[in-house]
Chain A
Amino acid sequence: MTIEIQKDSDPIFVKMIGVLDTGAAEQIETEIQEIESLAQKTISIDCSKLEYICSSGLRHFLRIRKAAGEYGHVVTLTGVSNNILEVLKITHFDSIFDIQ
């Protein structure tokens, strides 16, 4: 699992690559904290290379969403694949993110 963060852009672009399973979710804690700290700008997460997301991964998405929410921002998800979209729909996460 790799996370690429473009800190200097506005909005901040975050690209998630690979499988976000429980093991990966435990390893990306630092990156998620970094993204949370950048939430004063709007955040756009590119999910086109995200193959799978588990509930722990959703929790990271929620953390980013909450951090952005404190600044009144909405987090945008782009390139969401069908299976990820299915998970987002089941959990109704599609209602708290701007999916493009």
Chain B
Amino acid sequence: MSRPKIAGIRTYISLSLLVILIGGIVFTTGFGICLYLSRTQITELTNKGISRDLDLIHNYVDGQLQSIEEVAYAISWAEDPNYAIYDPTDFDSEESMFVFLENILNVHSNICGIAIGLEPSFSTQQQGSYGFAAYVTNVSGKNERLRLGAINDYRKKEWYCKAAASDKTYWSMPFRESNMGKVVTCFSLPLHDKTGKFVGVLALDINTEAFRLKCNEIMPFKHAEVTLVARNYRFISHPDTSYLLRNVAEYHPEQWKHVQNQDLTFQKKFFRLNSADNKSFFYFDTIQRTQWIISIECPIDEVYSSVNRMKRDTTWIAIASILFMIICFIYLFRRLQKITLSKANLDKEVKIASGIQMDMTPKDGEPLSENGQLDICGFLQPARDIGGDLYDYFLHDGNLYFCIGDVSGKGIPASLFMSATHYLFRSTLECCEDLAQAVANINRSLCTNNERNMFVTFFCGKLNSATGKLDYCNAGHNAPILISHEPGKTRFIQTTHRLPLGIMSDVTFQTETMNLQNGDALFLYTDGITESMNLKRQEFGDQQTLQCVTAHASESTQDIVKKLYTDIQQHADGAEQSDDITMLCFRYNSSDNS
């Protein structure tokens, strides 16, 4: 047996792939939008957080620097920060100057060194013609005095000469202090006498270690780098201390090149680095007082770690979902394949059964008698592939035996019952002289083990082809139409109704008799004709059936059947055929006419 072709499998696969594709596109688009919104929100939150961190460092460092400046102003009695007055007579000896400086150093812990340098004209004789500077520094908690003079050339040092040259306060570049190796920066304040003449410089050293510690405290992300850079672009603070006082160009030159192009009066700014080896957000701010730069560099991976995690997790979920969908589709595909196969097999078998059923009915044009006394035509159009109607006829001993029937219901169950009836008709009528008795026998056989209460309305008859005597028996079937040879005299024949076959085994039936005249025809049909409905659910009806048969009365039996079917189709007007349609029509032509 050949394997039936499975229709629609390709369509199913295409549809499945389409569903997966559309699902994937919808999911990816939705997820992409979510991801974009999440990243935007995270960027905003990070910007705010880093801005706060920059403020924290800025306020701390600037506060410390400001406090140094304020100490300098306080001890120089300066009303104008750029015009501090110094009177050498305030100090009667060098000793008193050192003591004064030591006292200040002891009081202000954030100051790690303090010096007063004088111009030569304001130095005493003993202090030499070069000039004199008193410098006290704190070394391991102990004050160490240093007397600076020509040998130290202090007037050429940055802390002195810059303030002296500009006659303004000056923050020197950070440098490494020689005693302890600390990175310090120095605030210089020019001093003047009462006449306003420049007399020297007061300098205060501040240890930048505290700044470094503060920067290290701020750690917005695990691998974020918080640095403090002097205006000569050397690190004051860096997580790696080996970078202190080294030029920024040695470290991530790319972003610093970017910063160096900026105006140092700028406010907080940030930019994104997207080079191959460094993908990060770079935030910076400037301390105007010293023009130092605070920078925070955050790796993009860490900033977006939650989004990236979500992206990774969702990707796995999406892959798992797609795999699950594919498994489901494969499972459904196999189920469908099985169902389609079994349906295809069933369809094929139904088609075969339909063929067998149609084979059971006599073929049109099959010669019934050698002298052609009978003009007969049958028609069966099941509502489904296989029907529950039947008609049959055969010649036996010069008699035409015929029947028509309608099994309750439709489809395979009805067709099985119809086959049994058909077989019983052929086998019973041939050997039973009395029609009613034959029908009763058929009924009894059909009632046996009829648990499903199937029944068949049945009309059968025996026409003596020589005399035109027609015996017939009706078991619950529609009354046939007699088409008289006299035009216009078409009518339903009178029949005694009895129950259909298969209902009760003890029912008796009645044989009725009438004589057909030469040219008379009998039209038998099932209720598929009279109950044929159109879209408005209007039945074709008994009267319309009678009218149509009357209209075609003069035609051959074949044409009557054909034309009536056309009439029914016109009445249905596209409505689906709901019941099997069966017709049997024969015309009696007496031997005398043949």
Contact = CB atoms under 8 A, between A and B. Distances in A.
A91 B479 CA distance: 11
Contacts of B476: 90-93
Contact of B407 (A19, A55, A93): A55
Given A21-B578, A89-B497, A90-B476, A56 B410 contact: yes
Q: Is the interface of B mostly helix, strand, loop or mixed?
A: loop
Interface string A39-78: 0000000000000101110110011001000000000000
A90 B497 contact: yes
Contacts of A100: none
Contacts of B477: 90
B453 interface: yes
A22 interface: yes
Interface residues of B, number: 26
A96 interface: yes
B527 A55 contact: yes
A95 interface: yes
Given A90-B497, A91-B499, A59 B454 contact: yes
Interface of A: 19, 21-22, 25, 52, 54-56, 58-59, 62-63, 66, 89-93, 95-96
Contact of A59 (B408, B497, B531, B537): B408
A25 B478 CA distance: 21
Of B408, B454, B499, B531, which is in contact with the most chain A CB atoms at under 10 Å from its CB? B408
A97 to B, nearest CB: 11
Contact of B499 (A56, A59, A63, A92): A92
B390 to A, nearest CB: 13
Contacts of B388: 55
Most buried by B among A52, A89, A91, A93: A91
Nearest to A89: B497
Contacts of B453: 59, 62-63, 66
Interface of B: 383, 388, 406-410, 453-455, 457, 476-479, 497-500, 503-504, 527, 531, 537, 578-579
Given A22-B410, A22-B579, A62-B453, 13 more contacts: A54-B578, A55-B406, A55-B455, A56-B409, A58-B455, A59-B455, A62-B503, A66-B453, A90-B478, A91-B457, A92-B498, A96-B499, A96-B503
A13 B343 CA distance: 41
A54 B528 CA distance: 10
A58 B503 CA distance: 11
A59 B500 CA distance: 11
A92 B527 CA distance: 15
A54 B455 CA distance: 13
B477 to A, nearest CB: 7
29 contacts: A22-B383, A22-B410, A22-B578, A22-B579, A25-B409, A52-B531, A54-B531, A54-B578, A54-B579, A55-B407, A55-B408, A56-B408, A56-B409, A56-B410, A58-B455, A59-B454, A62-B453, A62-B455, A63-B453, A90-B478, A90-B497, A91-B497, A91-B500, A92-B476, A92-B497, A92-B498, A93-B476, A93-B499, A96-B503
